[in-house]
Amino acid sequence: MKLQNLLRREAILAVFIVLFVICSFFVPSFFTARNLINILKQSAIIGLVVAGLTITVIAGNVDLSVGSVVSFAAVIALTYTHADLSQTNISMTAQEGRPLLALAFSLPFLMGAAVGLINGLIISRFQANSVIITLGALSAVRGGALLVAGGKVIYGVKNPVFAALGQAQLFTIPVYVFIFVAACIVLELLLRRTSFGRYVYLIGANLKAAIIAGVPVARVQILTFVISGLMAAFAALILVARLNTASGLIGNGWEFDAVTAVVIGGTSLLGGRGSVIKSFQGAILVTMIINAMVLLNIPSSYQYVAKALIILTAVLIDIRTRREAA
């Protein structure tokens, strides 16, 4: 009985462990330090987006603009790290680069927060459907990214401090993996231990009741979108530092992958239930499945179908458990 409860509560973890063991035995070169670190690296960056999105989804909304925010933030960041100096062909010293570096770090965050603020203001003010509003934002922000990038692919992070964000390692594991884990823990604590976090659950569980109970619904909703925007910008900075490149098309489709991870993590798209740690597990699970398919030389077209099957399974499980609870 207890085991059954534990399994139900930790379903994703259980699935993860089972698949991990299977892959380790049957997928060639899966269980190697290099590949496992690879899985972590691949999950970590989109994982930051997933972590932020989770909070928005628990509050009963969804933010589809995150993929575009990643690309806009990436373009802004890279533009300011190498700026016009690329034309003068003079490599910057760290000293000279400092003001630009400050902009490269802060502007993407400002933009992410601004997009979240606008999404949140519209959605909370009119109680509009977040799918439609953020779908609009997705398009507009993508346009902004393409505009700033001028349709080109920008190369080269010239600033060494910035580059370190993507390159530095600790025990052969990239530092940003640790940043990802830390961010998940911080956001989970925000949800579990603060009044803001509780309000997120209350609004997601029963919006009408939250309003009657005097919960500052608009403020909390806006804040959830600001958080998802900020986390998307954060992911973009690391992405740029790691890839050394940015374009208006980077981050394309990330909203889909992020929503997939959130749903697989057991966060209900109807709101009121979920956790960042579970989404974290969801993100790693999806990455691991795709990784195994790559190692097995399964064509990428099938990977898309696989993602669809994963999401379908997760939703069916969600409906099942919901029915049992009722």
Partner 1 sequence: MAGEALLRMREVRKTFGGTVALSGVDFDLNPGEVHAIIGENGAGKSTLMKILCGVYPMDGGSILVEGEPVRIQLPKDALALGINMIHQEFANFSKLSVAENVFVGRLPRKAGFPLALDSRDLLLRTAEVLGRLRLPIDPGARLDSLSVAQQQLVEVAKALSANLRILIMDEATSSLNLRESEQLFATIEALKVEGISVVYISHRLKEVMDIADRITVLRDGANVGTFPRGHIEEAAIIEAMLGRRLRAAVKKAATRGPTVFSVTGLSIPGKVRNLSFELHRGEILGITGLSGSGKELAIRGLYGLWPSRIERMECNGEQVSISHPSDGLSLGITYLAEERKNMSVFPQLTIRENASVLWMRSVWRRFVVSRRREREASLQSLRRVNVKMAGAESPVDSLSGGNQQKMLLARLLMVQPEIVILNDPTRGVDVGSKQEIYQIIYQLAREGVSIIMTSSEIPEVTALADRVIVMSKGHKIAELSDAEVTTDNVLALVTQAAAADEHG
Positions in the binding site for partner 1 (CB under 8 A): 193-196, 198-199, 201-202, 205-206, 208-216, 268, 272-273, 325-326
CB of 104 to partner 1, least distance (A): 31
Q: How far is the CB of 50 from partner 1 (least distance, A)?
A: 21
Could you tell me the smallest distance in angstroms from the CB atom of residue 57 to partner 1? 14
* Pick 137 or 210: Cβ nearer partner 1: 210
Spell out the residues 6+ positions from residue 289 whose beta carbon is closer than 8 angstroms to its own. Answer: 19, 306, 310
Q: Which is nearer to partner 1, 81 or 279 (CB)?
A: 279
Q: How far is the CB of 193 from partner 1 (least distance, A)?
A: 6
Nearer to partner 1, 50 or 191 (CB): 191
Smaller CB distance to partner 1: residue 98 or 192?
192
- Pairing type for strands 173-174 and 245-246 reads unpaired
What tokens does 56 get?
């928005």
Asked whether the CA dihedral 201, 203, 206, 212 is positive or negative, the reply is positive
Kindly state the smallest distance separating residue 202's Cβ from partner 1, in Å: 6
Distance CA 293, CA 92 (A): 42
Which H helix or E strand runs over 199? helix 195-205
Min separation Cβ 3 and partner 1, Å: 20
Helix (H) or strand (E) holding 154: strand 154-155
Q: Which is nearer to partner 1, 35 or 268 (CB)?
A: 268
Token pair, residue 61, equals 């909304």
* Whole-Å CA distances, 124 to 104, 108, 112, 141: 30, 24, 18, 20
One-character DSSP codes across 62-130: --TTHHHHHHHHHHHHHHHHHTTHHHHTPPPPHHHHHHHHHHHHHHHHHHHHHHHHHHHHHHHHHT--H
Task: For partner 1, give the closer residue by CB, 170 or 212.
Answer: 212
Instruction: Please identify which residue in the block is written with the tokens 């139900």.
Output: 8
Q: How far is the CB of 274 from partner 1 (least distance, A)?
A: 10
Question: Closest CB to partner 1 among 105 and 196?
Answer: 196
